[in-house]
């Protein structure tokens, strides 16, 4: 397992002012709730529009609250995740009353709302001179030692990655650095069974900063994109857990984290990401589901990275989740003068800072260059330390 006290490695999130925590109007999705039960259901069927199972206690609540759907949250074959379900109920009932009804039931470990998380924003080498963050962290010197390693996998849990660029193939600056362990470059928990393509731009932006192929006369230079040898770039695992609108529900984000850490559902195998980047969060405690997913990934030795947020708040007073969890590296932003940018959060949970601001460059879906107020830049040089062993 990699100790975060010994390993200097992390990823940073994108920060775009169009979506800020102050705009987070809804805490959770209406008409549904997350359940973790004591004993998994063996039979789930619908009778006259109401869910029926082999467990009578649930059937009573299903009748009372008109529960029309009950589905597993995790697709993992790991039995550890068999107890998690999403219950969909009649909208005439409030989330609080349904959650409270399940919470007092002895067969329920916990019940909670399906909390909402938001992406920190929406959003070819010819533009290296515009990437001041790379210059600031002296990336060129790091590249003399290590420019990437194809055995290192970064799981970008986000809106997806540009896999259907012009012509129906992945973005030209990413195509050589995509993880393809399952034939579709990753996983999609928003629309299960679909390609984890980016329909927003945020995830591709993150991926470009991390792993856009370097030294290829195209687009931007990713910090660990390789390009100085043969097939030497880090690999991006695209895990789509955020929707088109940049929002993730807990029941989508949690399985995305677990899948990135353990695609085959067998913790004894080593088929998951080495690092997971989470460029999203929320300011209200999201309960247990996300924490369970993060703790599982951490138990497998995965390094988890999240943005500290962009409200210029003290995290000791106004915590941002999941960044403040002990298992997660919280990353704040600095400017070209190595000073905290005005909008960056701060406080004791911050592990490290990275280049940030409105004039950092990366790629987005349509092959153009875009500015971003926060660069996954801490990950930059530190990621190369990982690659170099």
Identify the CATH number of the domain in which residue 111 sits: 3.30.70
State yes or no: pLDDT of 123 exceeds 60.
Answer: no
- CB under 8 Å to 88, separation ≥6 — which residues? 31, 32, 67, 68, 69, 70
Q: What is the mean pLDDT of residues 312-329?
A: 91
- Say if residue 312 is in the same domain as residue 369: yes
State yes or no: pLDDT of 131 exceeds 70.
Answer: no
Structural domain contains residue 13:
no
H helix runs in 106-221, sequence order = 132-136, 139-145, 202-211
Task: Give CA separation, 15 vs 182, 246, 357, in Å.
Answer: 30, 12, 8
State yes or no: pLDDT of 110 exceeds 50.
Answer: yes
Query: For residue 21, what pLDDT is reported?
Result: 43
Structural domain contains residue 370:
yes
Of residues 357 and 340, the one with the higher pLDDT is: 340
Structural domain contains residue 296:
yes
Which tokens hold the place of 148?
């990437």
Helix (H/G/I), strand (E/B), else coil: 61? helix
- Say if residue 69 is in the same domain as residue 134: no
- Say if residue 227 is in the same domain as residue 349: yes
- Say if residue 110 is in the same domain as residue 232: no
State yes or no: pLDDT of 202 exceeds 90.
Answer: no
Least confident segment among 38-42, 51-55, 116-120, 249-253 = 116-120
- Say if residue 181 is in the same domain as residue 248: yes
- Say if residue 111 is in the same domain as residue 123: no
Confidence class for position 128, pLDDT limits 50, 70, 90: very low
Structural domain contains residue 1:
no
- Say if residue 92 is in the same domain as residue 125: no
pLDDT tens-digit readout, 354-371: 665 555 544 444 443 333
Least confident segment among 42-51, 312-321, 362-371 = 362-371
Query: For residue 181, what pLDDT is reported?
Result: 85
Domain residue limits at 233 = 119-388
- Say if residue 239 is in the same domain as residue 257: yes
Average per-residue pLDDT for the chain: 77
Which position has the token pair 């990753």? Answer: 186
- Say if residue 213 is in the same domain as residue 126: yes
Query: For residue 58, what pLDDT is reported?
Result: 99
State yes or no: pLDDT of 141 exceeds 70.
Answer: no
CA–CA dist 120, 203 (Å, integer): 11
Query: For residue 52, what pLDDT is reported?
Result: 99
State yes or no: pLDDT of 282 exceeds 50.
Answer: yes
Query: Above pLDDT 90, what percent of the chain?
Result: 47
Length of the chain: 389
Least confident segment among 27-36, 197-206, 367-376 = 367-376
Structural domain contains residue 185:
yes
Q: What is the mean pLDDT of residues 237-254?
A: 96
Structural domain contains residue 8:
no
Taking the CA atoms of 369, 13, 180 and 81 in sequence, report the sign of the dihedral they define: negative
Structural domain contains residue 301:
yes
Query: For residue 375, what pLDDT is reported?
Result: 37
- Burial string for 267-296 (b: 16+ CB within 10 Å, else e) reads eeeeebbbbbbbbbbbbeebbbbbbbbbeb
pLDDT tens-digit readout, 54-95: 999 999 999 999 999 999 999 988 999 999 999 999 999 999
Confidence class for position 215, pLDDT limits 50, 70, 90: very low
For the chain, the domain total comes to 2
This prediction's pTM: 0.81
The CATH number of whichever domain residue 142 belongs to comes to 3.40.50.200
Using the 3D structure, point to which of 80, 115, 150 is the last residue of a domain.
Answer: 115
- Say if residue 70 is in the same domain as residue 130: no
pLDDT tens-digit readout, 7-28: 333 333 333 333 344 444 479 9
CA–CA dist 170, 208 (Å, integer): 12
Query: For residue 231, what pLDDT is reported?
Result: 55
Confidence class for position 117, pLDDT limits 50, 70, 90: very high
Using the 3D structure, point to which of 84, 115, 146 is the last residue of a domain.
Answer: 115
Query: For residue 48, what pLDDT is reported?
Result: 97
Structural domain contains residue 184:
yes
Report the DSSP beta bridge partners of residue 282. Answer: 321
- CB under 8 Å to 335, separation ≥6 — which residues? 341, 355, 356, 357
Which tokens hold the place of 113?
């709302």
Least confident segment among 33-47, 88-102, 331-345 = 331-345
CA–CA dist 98, 214 (Å, integer): 52
State yes or no: pLDDT of 260 exceeds 80.
Answer: yes
- Say if residue 346 is in the same domain as residue 250: yes
- Say if residue 36 is in the same domain as residue 88: yes
Using the 3D structure, point to which of 99, 115, 131 is the last residue of a domain.
Answer: 115
Reported in sequence order, the residue ranges of the chain that DSSP labels E, i.e. its strands, are: 28-37, 44-47, 50-53, 69-72, 84-88, 108-119, 153-158, 186-188, 235-240, 247-249, 275-278, 280-281, 303-307, 328-334, 350-363, 369-374
Least confident segment among 51-60, 77-86, 108-117, 327-336 = 327-336
Query: For residue 114, what pLDDT is reported?
Result: 98
């Amino acid at each position: 397992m990699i100790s975060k006290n010994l390993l200097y490695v992390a990823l940073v999130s994108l920060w775009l002012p169009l979506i800020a925590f102050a705009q987070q109007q809804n805490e959770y999705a209406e008409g549904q709730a997350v359940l973790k039960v004591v004993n998994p259901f063996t039979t789930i069927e619908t009778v006259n529009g109401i869910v029926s199972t082999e467990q009578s206690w649930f059937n009573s609540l299903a009748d009372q609250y008109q529960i029309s759907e009950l589905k597993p949250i995790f697709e993992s074959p790991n039995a550890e995740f068999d107890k998690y379900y999403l219950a969909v109920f009649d909208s005439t009932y409030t989330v609080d009353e349904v959650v409270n009804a399940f919470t007092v039931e002895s067969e329920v470990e916990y019940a909670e709302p399906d909390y909402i998380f938001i992406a920190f924003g929406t959003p070819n080498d010819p533009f290296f001179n515009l990437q001041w963050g790379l210059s600031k962290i002296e990336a060129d010197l790091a590249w003399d030692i290590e420019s990437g390693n194809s055995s290192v996998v970064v799981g970008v849990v986000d809106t997806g990655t540009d896999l259907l660029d012009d012509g129906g193939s992945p973005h030209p600056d990413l195509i050589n650095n995509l993880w393809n362990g399952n034939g579709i470059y990753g996983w999609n928990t928003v629309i299960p069974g679909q390609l984890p393509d980016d329909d927003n731009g945020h995830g591709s932006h993150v991926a470009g900063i991390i792993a856009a192929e370097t030294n290829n006369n195209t687009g931007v230079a990713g910090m660990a994109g390789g390009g100085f040898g043969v097939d030497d770039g880090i690999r991006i695992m695209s895990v789509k857990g955020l929707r088109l609108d940049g929002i993730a529900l807990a029941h989508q984000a949690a399985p995305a984290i677990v899948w990135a850490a353990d695609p085959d559902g067998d913790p004894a195998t080593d088929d998951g990401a080495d690092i997971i980047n989470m460029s999203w969060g929320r300011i209200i405690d999201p309960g247990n589901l996300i924490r369970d997913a993060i703790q599982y990934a951490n138990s497998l030795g995965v390094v988890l990275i999240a943005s500290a947020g962009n409200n210029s708040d003290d995290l000791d007073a106004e915590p941002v989740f999941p960044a403040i969890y002990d298992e997660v590296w919280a990353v704040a932003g600095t400017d070209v003068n190595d000073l905290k940018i005005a909008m960056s959060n701060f406080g004791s949970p911050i592990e490290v800072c990275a280049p940030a601001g409105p004039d950092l460059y990366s790629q987005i879906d349509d092959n153009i260059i875009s500015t971003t107020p926060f660069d996954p830049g801490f990950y930059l040089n530190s990621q190369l330390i990982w690659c170099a062993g």
